[in-house]
Amino acid sequence: LSKERGKNEFTFYNAELNSYMKRKMEMENHLKKAIDKNQFSLVYQPKVNFLTNKIVGMEALLRWEHPEYGLVSPAEFIPIAEETGQIEAIGKWVLETACKQNKSWQNQGFPPLSVSVNVSVLQFQNGKFLKTVKSVLEESKLDAQFLELEITESIMQNIRESKDILTHLKALGVKISIDDFGTGYSSLHILSKLPIDTIKIDKSFIDELDQLDRSPIIKAIIDLSLNLNLSIVAEGIETENQLAFLQESGCMIGQGYLFSKPLKTNEFEQLIKINGLKSFEKQHSL
């Protein structure tokens, strides 16, 4: 019996692995055509200043809508794009789209905001990244100060090269933010070694605020960044409790469902239309 069962399990495992590999390979092929088929779009999540309740910027987040798969999460397709090298073209599309959109909002007379774009480490270290950023800024005519690049601690794996690229980016006037701060192995090291502007406290720490009651770790991260003259942004704020704690601790900027989910271009535009006139309404999620 046990032999029989073992055999079945093996077959089952194989079948599951096969269907996983199959989906991955199919996805790879569909991903190749996604730009040309206009299947990508960006959504924008507002960054809010807690004191003024005004929007101070937005994070551009990539969405892939496929006719068969439906909406695919970036958590699923970004790793595939990285593996296959498609991240380069996709990342460029994201940069172009975000910068053009931001410039267009400025041209329409909205108060200038900074757009944050997520950058994959592989994209960052491919040797062409600096050139791409330069040409995108030139073509979109967006002033560099209104572009922020979000990179993760994994750039520390290649610290010399990363420092070099960052120094050039900073010379252009672009801002640098460390995303998911505190989740990697080099959180403290990165602060002393690389020229950065902002740290984004990872959502996992914000989540703990409701469980562990007043996490000393977050207080320490906020103090540290303030002492180093870095901006600090909290991500994934969902509750009034979390917001109150952050404010008490000196963190004044953040994003999360408490304020708004990421919004489609036209929805975000509606929001910034009233931004200058009216305080941001929480739970504005559409």
> Binding string to ligand C2E for residues 207 to 236, with x set by CB under 6 A, is what?
----------------------------xx
At residue 116, the 3 state secondary structure works out as strand
Q: Are 19 and 11 spatial neighbours (Cβ–Cβ below 8 Å)?
A: no
DSSP 197-249: SEEEE-HHHHHHIIIIIS-HHHHHHHHHHHHTT-EEEEE---SHHHHHHHHHH
Residues 61/44, Cβ–Cβ less than 8 Å: yes
Strand partners, 60: 44, 117
3-class SS of residue 267:
helix
Amino acid identity, residue 93? W
| 46 contacts ligand C2E (rule: CB under 6 A) | no
**In the complex, what is the shortest distance from the CB of residue 9 to Mg ion, in angstroms, rounded to a whole number?**
36
Separation of alpha carbons 206 and 219, rounded Å: 11
Q: Is 179 in the site for Mg ion (CB under 5 A)?
A: yes
Binding of ligand C2E at residue 153 (CB under 6 A)? no
Distance CA 259, CA 53 (A): 10
Give me the least distance between CB of 61 and ligand C2E, in Å please. Answer: 4
CB of 183 to Mg ion, least distance (A): 7
118 contacts ligand C2E (rule: CB under 6 A): yes
- For the CB of residue 219, give the shortest distance to ligand C2E in the complex, in Å: 21
Cα–Cα distance for residue pair 92/105, rounded to 1 Å: 20
Report the residue from 72, 94, 166, 271 that binds ligand C2E according to the rule CB under 6 A: 94
Whose structure tokens read 């969405």? 63
Shorter beta-carbon distance to ligand C2E: residue 11 or 157:
157
| Residue 256 interacts with which of ligand C2E, Mg ion, none, CB < 5 to 8 Å by class | ligand C2E
253-272: contacts with ligand C2E (CB under 6 A): 255-257, 262
Pick the binder of ligand C2E from 88, 148, 153, 179 (CB under 6 A). 179
Pairing of strands 40-49, 253-255: antiparallel
Among 88, 148, 150, 153, contact with Mg ion (rule: CB under 5 A): 150
Q: Which of 238, 241, 267, 282 binds ligand C2E (CB under 6 A)?
A: 238
Q: What is the DSSP letter of 11?
A: H
Binding stretches for ligand C2E (CB under 6 A): 45, 61-62, 73-75, 78, 91, 94, 118-120, 150, 179-180, 235-238, 255-257, 262
